[in-house]
Amino acid sequence: MKRFLLVNLNNTSTKLALSDEEKLLKKTVIPTKKLTAAGVHRILQRWAFDFALVGSVVPQKTGIFRRSVKAPLLEISPKLDLGIGLDFPQPETIGADRIANAVSVAQRHGTPAVVVDFGTAVTFDIISRKGHYIGGVIAPGLGVMTDYLYQKTALLPKIDLKEPTDVIGKSTREAMLAGAVYGYRGLVRQIVTEIVAKLEGKAHIVATGSYAPLIAAKLPELQIVDPDLTLEGLRIIATRNLPS
């Protein structure tokens, strides 16, 4: 059975996984700003694989893998065999992670579906009942919003995101935490509600990304949390596009 190197290269973090055609075997995460050829080389020395698939939204870092990987390498694009349709005017503008999420949710959870991915931005990607990617929504990420308050105000502190004890904060930190978490749940709920109203059939709502467990904990609209959704999508695409 073939083994793959899977790379999900995003603005905040880069996830690397070793997989075979059926499952993920190993995973590691590197902050993207610390991603170097030397660091990648150290990891690749320990992993044996036949083929690499890179999904990147950070073009200036993609070259690290092009130079470091000695096995055949493909990069996510609409030209690959994805197993889903792309009903989108400019499919080449869809982020690699969003393509992987769409492929993964269709195979792992069914259609119609909405993927809510909590990354540097929060993205909502919609797959129709017929299995076509039909578009999405992009909003600022939760971490970006709270960091902006800290960076742009003189007196507001930097906060660690967690479940608030109450919606009424008894300190500046508690008030910021309540605004961030309760406010973000409101944003996600409204967008999901508007999307679902336009879909045919009962939609599967799947959350992934760093803040998915926190936001989904008290937001029933997010039915499933799938932390490996993107990597599993890369694995599925790799399996469908093995070099001959």
**Strand-pair category, 113-118 with 13-20:** unpaired
**Domain ranges in the chain?**
1-75, 81-244
Q: Has residue 140 got a pLDDT over 70?
A: yes
| pLDDT band with cut points at 50, 70 and 90 for residue 239 | very high
Give residue 234's pLDDT: 98
Residues 73-132 have pLDDT tens digits of 999 999 999 999 999 999 999 999 999 999 999 999 999 999 999 998 999 999 999 999
Residues 125-137 have pLDDT tens digits of 999 999 999 999 9
- Percent of the chain exceeding pLDDT 70 equals 100
Fold of 1-75: Nucleotidyltransferase; domain 5 (3.30.420)
Fold: same for 1-75 and 81-244? yes
Catalytic residue numbers? Answer: 97
Give residue 236's pLDDT: 98
Fold of 81-244: Nucleotidyltransferase; domain 5 (3.30.420)
